[in-house]
């Protein structure tokens, strides 16, 4: 593993630093530091600027309006944006640009690429992900939402749940059972469906932190054009897995930067509370720092492997377990250091949803927000138990889990 980047890469880094220094407001402290009513408008203006400079979709080929950047250049962009807490888009862009866009580029028809990709970049189309159902989360292939062809339209009936940002989106990519007689993983199709229609009912779910991020989506004879399918009918499982790989990978060196910044703030919190000399606290902080350093080293190893052409394998599962559990343990340590200050905020009414990369302070209220936002991190994108199963079966060669009822 070579932990250094070469000279031309460092020159590219300077150009990104320059872009950020020129365009971010002076004394920028991150989106969360803006007044709540200014965050949305700023994010939209910033998104338009990124699109203009081809930094909104750095990994997409230039012919589709992307940055056409090499892998190492993408890493540099993400690292520099993360260091200063600059947004890389609006919340739906994680689904539209990082997940659906690359899937359309790889598996879509020329017409689909021409139609959907520019509309994603312009912000005209904003996507959400309709995978999970009340009885199909970890066991995703057990999904029951069904679609049938009626002339030149698919008719969709069923329910999705935990769909993030649906209230900010106008389209949903939705997994549907299109062949009832096929075995579980077969007979699933990957459909694209407009949300604004009478057959779709979106109901908010308020999470434990008191904020509205995800939803239930009910389909009752919802309709979408027959052509709105990625891949062939009944081959949606292949497309699903392709998209999940985009969801779980690709942040091998930026996540460690985010988590390191959080660990740094835990250490600062200990200093502010006069606890740095406490041997038990020191031991705990040392362990957090050691885990953050290990995460960084394994991220660099993943990047080195990717640069030499190796596909992302179980590293994404390892990284997911490692960073989410470190994020949770770091926030718990900070809360305990804040003591009664934090307890006062735990019962306070409203919490703001904080992404882990929010630039932050060491204030107790902010740690309470982080504590609540860290909990779901070990559930979304496939729970950590499922990631451990993947490692057990695909890396360690342990026997596969029994399938079905035992
Ligand atoms: C913040 C957040 C945002 C989300 N956004 C979206 C979204 O936009 N779109 C979407 O489709 N979904 C979304 N999800 C849903 C997410 O993908 C599921 O919650 C996740 O896959 C787990 O499924 P489940 O909740 O049904 O739990 P279950 O699958 O019922 O699992 C319950 C528990 O049992 C464990 N478990 C289950 N099976 C096994 C097994 N075989 N071995 C060991 N342990 C097992 C799980 O790890 C978990 O602890 C989101 C979830 C969260 C928390």
What CATH number is given to the structural domain containing 160? 2.40.110.10
State in Å: Cα 98 to ligand 1 middle. Answer: 20
For the question of residue 44 being annotated catalytic, the response is no
**Both tokens of residue 249?**
């990978």
Whether 207 and 291 share a structural domain: no
Q: Please report which confidence band the pLDDT of residue 401 belongs to, taking 50, 70 and 90 as the band edges.
A: confident
C-alpha closest to that of 258 among 315, 326, 336: 326
Report how far residue 150's alpha carbon sits from residue 225's, in angstroms, rounded to the nearest whole number: 10
Contact between 314 and 395 (Cβ < 8 Å): yes
Catalytic one among 247, 268, 272, 366?
247
Whichever domain contains 340, its CATH number is: 1.20.140.10
Give the pLDDT of residue 27: 87
The CA-atom distances, in angstroms, between 194 and each of 126, 127, 215 are: 10, 9, 16
What confidence score (pLDDT) does residue 349 get? 45
CA 140 – ligand 1 centroid, Å: 9
In this structure, are 147 and 196 located in the same domain? yes
Distance from residue 136's CA to the centre of ligand 1 (Å): 8
- Per-residue confidence (pLDDT) for residue 316, from 0 to 100: 83
Are β-strands 200-206 and 153-164 bridged in parallel, bridged antiparallel, or unpaired?
unpaired
Task: Give the position, in ligand 1's atom list, of the atom nearest the Cα of 132.
Answer: 11
- Domain membership of residue 138 (yes or no) is yes
Mean pLDDT of all residues in 335-360: 73
Q: Could you tell me how many residues make up the chain? A: 406
Same domain, 270 and 390: yes
The CATH number of whichever domain residue 41 belongs to comes to: 1.10.540.10
Residue 67 structural domain: 7-90
* Domain end (from 239, 262, 278): 239
Residue nearest to atom 51 of ligand 1 (CA): 380
Q: For 150, how many CA atoms within 13 A lie in the half-sphere containing its CB?
A: 11
Is 113 a member of any domain?
Answer: no
Report DSSP letters for 337-355, one per residue. HHTHHHHHHHTSS------
The verdict on 273 and 378 lying in the same domain is yes
Q: How far apart are CA 220 and CA 202, in angstroms?
A: 11
Position 300 in a domain: yes
- pLDDT tens for each residue of 83-106: 898 999 999 999 999 999 999 999
59 shares its domain with 181: no
CB of 132 closer than 6 angstroms to any ligand 1 atom: yes
Nearest CA to ligand 1 atom 35: 385
Q: Is residue 366 part of a domain?
A: yes
- Pairwise CA distance, residues 71 & 75, whole Å: 6
- Going by pLDDT thresholds of 50, 70 and 90, the confidence category of residue 264 is very high
Choose among 179, 128, 184, 130: nearest CA to 158: 130
Question: Is 271 in the same domain as 369?
Answer: yes
Regarding whether 277 and 228 lie in a shared domain, the answer is no
Burial class (CB in 10 A: 0-12, 13-18, 19+), 133: buried
**116 close to ligand 1 (CB < 6 Angstrom):** no
Q: Say if residue 75 is in the same domain as residue 201.
A: no
pLDDT at position 208 is 79
Q: Is residue 371 part of a domain?
A: yes
* Cβ-contact 175, 131 below 8 angstroms: yes
Say how many domains are in the chain.
3
Residue 340 sits in the same domain as residue 265:
yes
The count of C-alpha atoms lying within 13 angstroms of the C-alpha of 185, restricted to the half-sphere facing its C-beta, is: 7
Distance from the alpha carbon of residue 163 to the mean position of ligand 1, in angstroms: 12
Burial of residue 152, with CB atoms counted within 10 A of its CB: 0-12 exposed, 13-18 middle, 19 or more buried: exposed
Q: Is 389 in the pocket of ligand 1 (CB under 6 A)?
A: yes
The phi-psi region of residue 184 (left if phi > 0; otherwise alpha if psi is between -120 and 50; otherwise beta) is alpha
Reduced to 3 states (helix: H, G, I; strand: E, B; else coil), residue 116 is: helix
Confidence of residue 361 (pLDDT cuts 50, 70, 90): confident
Residue 223 belongs to some domain of the structure = yes
Structural domain includes residue 110? no
- Count of CB atoms situated within 10 Å of the CB of 382: 20
Same-domain status, 226 and 299: no
| Domain stop point among 172, 206, 239 | 239
107 within some domain: no
Q: Which residue has the tokens 């007689």?
A: 181
Domain identity same for 155 and 256:
no
Pocket test for ligand 1, best of 91, 132, 167, 404 (most atoms within 8 A of CB): 132
How far, in Å, are 132, 184, 203, 382 from residue 404 at the CA level? 19, 11, 31, 19
61 SS3 class: coil
- Which atom in ligand 1 lies closest to the alpha carbon of residue 130? 11
User: What are the pLDDT digits (tens) for 314-344?
Assistant: 788 899 999 999 999 999 999 999 998 888 7
Residues 138-192 pLDDT 10s: 999 999 999 999 999 999 999 999 999 999 999 999 999 999 999 889 999 999 9
Indicate whether residue 406 lines ligand 1 (CB < 6 A): no
For ligand 1, say whether the CB of 376 is within 6 Å of any of its atoms: yes
Last residue of a domain, which of 210, 239, 268? 239
233 and 253 co-located in one domain: no
């Amino acid at each position: 593993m070579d932990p250094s980047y070469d000279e031309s890469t460092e020159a590219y880094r300077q150009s990104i630093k320059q872009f950020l220094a020129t365009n971010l407001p002076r004394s920028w402290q991150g989106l969360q530091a803006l007044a709540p009513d200014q965050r949305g408008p700023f994010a939209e203006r910033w998104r338009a600027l990124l699109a203009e400079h081809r930094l909104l979709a750095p990994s997409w080929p230039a012919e589709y309006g992307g940055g056409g950047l090499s892998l190492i250049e993408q890493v540099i962009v993400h690292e520099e944006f993360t260091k200063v807490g600059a947004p890389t888009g609006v919340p739906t862009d994680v689904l539209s640009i990082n997940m659906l866009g690359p899937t359309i580029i790889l598996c879509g028809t020329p017409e689909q690429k021409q139609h959907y990709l520019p509309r994603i970049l312009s912000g005209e189309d904003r996507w959400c992900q309709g995978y999970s159902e009340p009885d199909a989360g970890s066991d995703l292939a057990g999904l029951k939402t069904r679609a049938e062809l009626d002339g030149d339209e698919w008719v969709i009936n069923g329910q999705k749940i935990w769909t993030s940002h649906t209230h900010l989106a106008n389209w949903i990519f939705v997994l549907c059972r299109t062949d009832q007689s096929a075995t579980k993983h077969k007979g699933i199709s990957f459909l694209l469906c407009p949300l604004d229609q009478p057959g779709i009912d979106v109901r908010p779910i308020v999470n434990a932190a008191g904020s509205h991020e995800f939803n239930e989506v009910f389909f009752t004879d919802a309709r979408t054009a027959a052509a709105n399918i990625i891949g062939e009918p009944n081959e949606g499982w292949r497309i699903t897995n392709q998209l999940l790989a985009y969801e779980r990978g690709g942040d091998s060196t930026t996540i460690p930067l985010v988590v390191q910044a959080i660990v740094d703030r835990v250490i600062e919190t200990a200093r502010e509370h006069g606890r740095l000399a406490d041997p038990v606290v020191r031991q705990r902080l040392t362990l957090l720092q050691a885990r953050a350093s290990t995460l960084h080293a394994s991220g660099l190893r993943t990047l080195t492997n990717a640069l030499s052409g190796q596909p992302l394998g179980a590293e994404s599962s390892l990284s997911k377990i490692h960073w989410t559990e470190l994020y949770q343990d770091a926030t718990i340590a900070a809360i305990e250091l804040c003591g009664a200050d934090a307890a006062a905020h735990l019962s306070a009414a409203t919490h703001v949803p904080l992404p882990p990369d929010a630039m932050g302070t060491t204030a107790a209220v902010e740690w309470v927000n982080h504590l609540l936002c860290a909990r779901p991190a070990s559930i979304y994108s496939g729970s950590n138990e499922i990631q451990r199963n993947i490692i057990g079966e695909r890396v360690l060669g342990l026997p596969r889990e029994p399938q079905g009822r035992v």
